[in-house]
Each structure stands twice: as C-alpha cells, then as structure tokens.
Structure 1
Amino acid sequence: MSTKGAISNFIEKYYLHFNAAALVDAAKGYEDQLNSGAKMLVSLAGAMSTAELGKIFAEMIRKDKVQIISCTGANLEEDIMNLVAHSHYERVPNYRDLTPQEEWDLLERGLNRVTDTCIPEEEAFRRLQKHIVKIWKDAEANGERYFPHEFMYKLLLSGVLEEYYEIDIKDSWMYAAAEKNLPIICPGWEDSTMGNIFASYVLKGELKASTMKSGIEYMTFLADWYTNNSEKGIGFFQIGGGIAGDFPICVVPMLYQDMERTDTPFWSYFCQISDSTTSYGSYSGAVPNEKITWGKLDINTPKFIIESDATIVAPLIFAYLLDM
C-alpha cells in the first residue's frame, strides 16, 4: 500500500469543490483503473512539451503509469528540442502586449513564439534536422519504413544528440518512452516542423513519401494494440483536445461498427482536461456523454472533465499518481 506525499495530501485536503474536486476524482479514478489491471492511454495536445510537462510525465512513463501515448507531431519533437536547446529558449512574460512589429522582430531573430515561450529555430529545429534527415535517408536506402515516433526513437537512442543535451535526460518524456519502446500514436504528424521538413525532401525528390508510415497505418496499429490489450480495460486520459484525442478514441467505434467486432469493449475510463467551453459543433468542448452517442464510451464508463489549464492540472494529477 503506497503512502501519499505532501502534494497528494494537500489536494485531498483542500481541493473539495468544482474543478478542484473534479481533479481529485479524476486522479483517484485513474489510480483505480491501474489498480484493477487496466491500461491507460494518455493523449497530449497543445504545447505540453514546450511547457516542460516532461519533468513529471517522464516519471509517469518510467513508473508504468501510462501504457500508450497519442500526441501531436509538435509534442513529439518539442520535447527533444527542449532537450537539446533549452538554454536558447526565451520567455516573453508580457506576450499579450507585443505589437505586430515586435512579433516580426522575434521571427527575424529566429524565435518562434508559443504563448510566453519562444523556441529558437536554429538551435532547436535545425539541430534536429541535421541528424533526423540522415536517419530517414538511411532507412529508405535499406528499404525500411517506420512511424514518425520510431524515427525519433532511433534519433534519441543513437546517441548523436548527446553533445547537445542541455537538461537532465530524466526530464525528457520522449527519452523515457524511447527506453521502454512505448507505443505512440502521432496523428497528423505532417503538420509538425519535422513533418514539414520531411515533405520538403519529398518535394525535392530526395525522399519518398512512403518511407514514413501513414496515419492509416497508425490507426490499424492502434486497432491491433487495443484488441490485444483491452482484456482488463483501457482508460483514456486526454490533455487538451483536437486530433491527439479524437484520432485514438475513434478506434473503438471503428472496431465495433466497421469491423463488426461487437465484443470490443468501450474505453473503461475517460478524463479530459480542457479550457474549451461547450459550444455549437465544438469537439474539444463537448461533454463526455456526447461520446456515448458515437460508440466511444459506455453508459457506465467513469467520466471526468476538468475545465482548467492543463499545465496546472496535469502535473497535480500525475503527482497524485506518483504518490508525491
């Protein structure tokens, strides 16, 4: 029996109502899932890697609190960018006051802004490009094809980036995932920086598009993984909205309806952290019960929605799960 630490005790004592209570309920529900032998998918949208969620998410991975990840291409690469170029990032606390000219000046300096944090193009993007392109080309020369995350795993585990490390490697969630060869789903990878770079090499005739495995292949991989791992249930912990969540959650109705595997279990737990409000046609702001009508969640699936900033909420839930 684990003993909870100071952070867990604090939220249990003081987080008693509204979104605060939903946070505690969701954390306990997540823990119940794992204790029952269920597995958990965590989806990462937004700029979680640039927010340095890896500081605690990497430990979640090491402690087997997550069994599969779905993330945007940006989160896939930006964790590694932070690993190799951290000291070159710039914070802009007064970002709300920036004029269009000041935004242009940041661009001229090679600084791409994500809210209050600027990612340095030369030290982050190009430093990765130099090495990942070689890995892409070597794979193609050998007649090999891989998923985007598999190429990133090869990059990390090859050791070619070690000379650039600027943070403790234990704070990189991608490195923790690579060490475990954790399955990752990365839908819509093409709109990431590395996806754009890969497309540019295809346009120049230096790479074939087929060297990179596709989104359809990600879906079929996920379908097989879900089928083989759902005996005791699989939960769905969604940070943010968008494709990182919508893509993987659809595997259940696809298996049940399109494959006619009517014994496919629904997701056994659902939690979403989002600041999107419910509105006409909004997916990210849709209440969990709407997913029942799409065959994603069961009537009895434990459902939680925490309408707050994920950079505040997710670390607290993870701290609870890690007995901090």
Structure 2
Amino acid sequence: MTNGAVSQFVRHHFRHFNAAALVDAADAYRRHLDQGGQMMITLAGAMSTAELGLSLAEMIRQGKVHAISCTGANLEEDIFNLIAHDFYERVPHYRDLSPQQEQELLERHMNRVTDTCIPEEEAMRRLEKALLDEWMQADRNGECYFPHEFIYRILRAGKLEQYYQIDPRDSWVYAAMERNLPIYVPGWEDSTTGNMYAAHCITGEIRNVHTVRTGIEYMIDLADWYTRTSAQASIGFFQIGGGIAGDFPICVVPMLHQDLGREGVPVWGYFCQISDSTTSYGSYSGAVPNEKITWGKLAVDTPKFIIESDATIVAPLMFALILGW
C-alpha cells in the first residue's frame, strides 16, 4: 500500500512515545487484516460529534472494519450531524462560559458537547419523528428490532434524505448501513433516543416495551457473531475511549469460555486502545492491556497497544495510516 502525504508526515515525525505507539499500532492493524483477520471498533465518548465519520466511513467502505460497538450517543449523534450539520454551533471559548451563558444555550435548545452545540429541533426532533414512525409500526406488527436496525431501516427508506446537510459518505452509520455491518449498542437507553423511546412507552404510544431489543439480546447476538466469525478469522479489538462501548463486547470471549464452557474459541487476536485514562485510580478504562490476560480476553502473545492521548487526534491519523492517505 502506498503512503500518501499524511502517512508520510506521520512516519517521518512520529518516532517516540505515544507518537511511535500510534504508528506501531496502525502497522499491526494492517498486518492483522493482511493476514486475513477482521476488526471490531468500539466508540465511546462523543466521537460522532467530533465527526469521526470523515475517516471512519472510508475505513468501513474499504472493508477495514467488520463490526462496531458504540454508545447510543455515538449511534444517534452521527445521524444528528447528517441531518442538522448547518444548524450546529461551535463554542471555542466553552471553558469560559458562565452558568448564565449555559442557561441561555438551554433556552435556545442548544445542547452543548464540549465546544459543539447540537440543535434540538433540527437534529433530535427530526430523528425522533422518523424513529417514532418505525417504532409504532413495528409495535403494531408485533416486530422487534435492535436500535441500530431501526436506524438502518430509516436510512434505507430515505425517510431523512430531505434533511441531509453533509455528504452521506461522511457518515459512518450510513457506510455501516450500506455494508449491513453488525453494530452493538450496549446501554442504548442511556441516550437521547433511548430517553425518547422510554417517554413514548410511558405515554402508551408504544405498547410493548420490547419493541426495541435489549442489551442482553445484543450480547446473545454478539456471541453468535463472534463464534461464527472467529472460526474463520482472527478478530481484533480496536477500542476508542473506555466505558461500556469497550467493556461490553470484549467480555464476550470469557463469557463463551467460562460461562458457556465452550472450548476452542479464540481470544481477541489484536488489541489497541486510545485513552487518556490512567490505572492509578482503579480505572477499568485505563487498565493496561496485560490485565486483560487475567480475565481471559487476550493471550500472552496477542499484539497489544495503548496510546495515551486524545482520540479525536489519534484515531483519524491511525485511519490515515491504515488507508494509506
């Protein structure tokens, strides 16, 4: 694979410490794929509002991502950006905002994520309307789908197309939909759309609360996917941030071994985490990769990397190296 201008710059300048770990991890990612492996990416934090889709969507299209685990926020916020990008507001001086200025943002229905404000009406309510139509139709028909499947159905039907304000090629969820990529969204109820769904169940508009399938069902589905896929290819684990997006899927391996007693299921074949968390406060998210050996998630010889830095900076650079940009 040729190296474009970004890759050439990174390879020339990123020689030590976290910079070198970035290059080493990206090269190992490419080797894993070149050897026939597959890769799961996990998204925590606000990576969709950081517009990671600008690089992640191309990773998906080029077959360098085979499954994604993400928070409900990352699933929905990629769509928010797709349909309301022009209504977003940046607040570069967010560190200096007074409580009164924060209140003023609330009164304007501008929901702040660090330096970026998401517009409630244009983003959240537009998606809610489309989702509610799908939820109620499924509810009437006695059907149940996962959160990401409802999003896929909306995108495939073009129900939000009139609102697109960015190129859909820059939406990672749109790219995932095109490839029918498996997405796992643990704790989806801890999201804006999850709250909306609960509200519509409370009002009685949705009669069966299980119309949207649960995290336990996601784990069952993940166990099936991992068992089938790992029988054919080694599966790597690329973790952006910490929290449930990473903790949930990585546990599928010890569950298969220890709780189901299955033998011969391989552990994860590659591991990399981008995180600014540290181990000194008992942080799961900041645990060094070797700790995962004791939990039956990684092997002694699994390629392991941790890049202690800002994922909004590191992930696009790693993707550029992997893509040869």
Fold equivalence (TM over 0.5) = yes
1:78 and 1:157 map into 2 onto residues whose CA distance is: 18
- Specify the alignment match of 1:262 in structure 2: 263
1:131 and 1:185 map into 2 onto residues whose CA distance is: 21
The ranges of structure 1 where at least 4 consecutive aligned residues each deviate by more than 3 angstroms after the TM superposition are none
Report matched runs for 1:279-298 at 5 Å. Answer: 279-298=280-299
1:300 and 1:262 map into 2 onto residues whose CA distance is: 19
- Specify the alignment match of 1:233 in structure 2: 234
- Specify the alignment match of 1:211 in structure 2: 211
- Specify the alignment match of 1:144 in structure 2: 143
CA-CA distance at 1:281 after TM superposition? 2.1
1:233 and 1:323 map into 2 onto residues whose CA distance is: 23
Which amino acid in structure 2 is aligned with residue 216 of structure 1?
Answer: I
- Specify the alignment match of 1:64 in structure 2: 63
1:54 and 1:7 map into 2 onto residues whose CA distance is: 18
CA-CA distance at 1:279 after TM superposition? 2.1
CA-CA distance at 1:172 after TM superposition? 0.6
RMSD between superposed Cα atoms in Å: 0.7
In structure 1, stretches of 5+ residues that fail to align are none
1:136 and 1:300 map into 2 onto residues whose CA distance is: 45
1:178-215: CA deviation from partner (whole Å, max 9, x where unpaired): 11110000000001100000001111122121101111
- Specify the alignment match of 1:160 in structure 2: 159
Report matched runs for 1:74-113 at 5 Å. Answer: 74-113=73-112
CA-CA distance at 1:226 after TM superposition? 0.4
In structure 2, stretches of 5+ residues that fail to align are none
SS in 2 for 1:50: coil
SS in 2 for 1:42: strand
- Specify the alignment match of 2:134 in structure 1: 135
SS in 2 for 1:41: strand
CA-CA distance at 1:71 after TM superposition? 0.3
2:125 and 2:140 map into 1 onto residues whose CA distance is: 23
Which amino acid in structure 2 is aligned with residue 52 of structure 1?
Answer: E
SS in 2 for 1:190: coil
2:312 and 2:300 map into 1 onto residues whose CA distance is: 29
Q: Indicate the percent of aligned positions where both proteins have the same amino acid.
A: 67
- Specify the alignment match of 1:300 in structure 2: 301
- Specify the alignment match of 1:43 in structure 2: 42
Q: Say if 1:36 and 1:232, in contact at 8 Å, map to a contact too.
A: no
1:173 and 1:10 map into 2 onto residues whose CA distance is: 25
1:302 and 1:77 map into 2 onto residues whose CA distance is: 32
TM-score normalised by the chain length of structure 1: 0.99
SS in 2 for 1:16: coil
**Pair 1:9 & 2:8 matched:** yes
- Specify the alignment match of 2:124 in structure 1: 125
